[in-house]
Amino acid sequence: MHSLLSRGNAIVAYTLSLLACLTFLCFLSTLFVDYRTIAAINTVKVVVKSVPDYSAAREECDLGFITFDLQANLTNLFNWNVKQLFLYLTAEYSTANNALSQVVLWDKIILRGEKAILDFKNMNTKYYFWDDGSGLRGHQNITLTLAWNIIPNAGLLPSIVARGQHSFAFPSNYTVTRV
């Protein structure tokens, strides 16, 4: 009546259904956890240079150089469902050409079990801070924000913005010396 193959199929199907239900219940156990925390960001050195742009019709573009301090305690973000954190520091500003520009300046991956207390002083940006024109020189409202993606074992991939941001201004004169 029931072959060995059909009984094996029933056992595998039941086991997979049970594991799917357990995974969903585990996901629900961390669904409403607040993953926001406070981050303190400060700029130490801010410089803007005009550099040639060989990729576009424009002759010159602005290139910003920032040195920043970053403090945040991310240890409370880790629970059994958090595999790793992908942190990134963004700069947001608006120009005449763009209503909103967002530039990722720095990123870091923190695995579960690693030190999750950030205390960085005089950090340089990891990526270039380019503007597609001359929108950085003399700009008075650049906002730095720390955000992270939580890489879970099961469930959604939330993008969280830290409490606390920092606004600064670029100087109105270009720097001509080496940074």
Does residue 179 register a pLDDT over 80? no
- Kindly report, residue by residue over 56-90, the tens digit of the pLDDT: 666 788 889 999 999 999 999 999 889 999 999 99
CA count, 13 A, side-chain hemisphere, 104: 8
- Kindly report, residue by residue over 122-150, the tens digit of the pLDDT: 999 999 998 877 788 888 899 999 999 99
Show me where the domains of the chain are located: 1-32, 34-168
Q: What is the mean pLDDT of residues 5-25?
A: 92
Residue 51 DSSP SS3: strand
Q: What is the mean pLDDT of residues 153-169?
A: 91
> How many beta carbons lie within 10 A of that of residue 77, not counting itself?
19
Q: Give the 3-state secondary structure of 87-98.
A: EEEEEEECCCCC
Domain 34-168 has CATH 3.30.70: no
Q: Label residue 1 by pLDDT band (50, 70, 90).
A: low
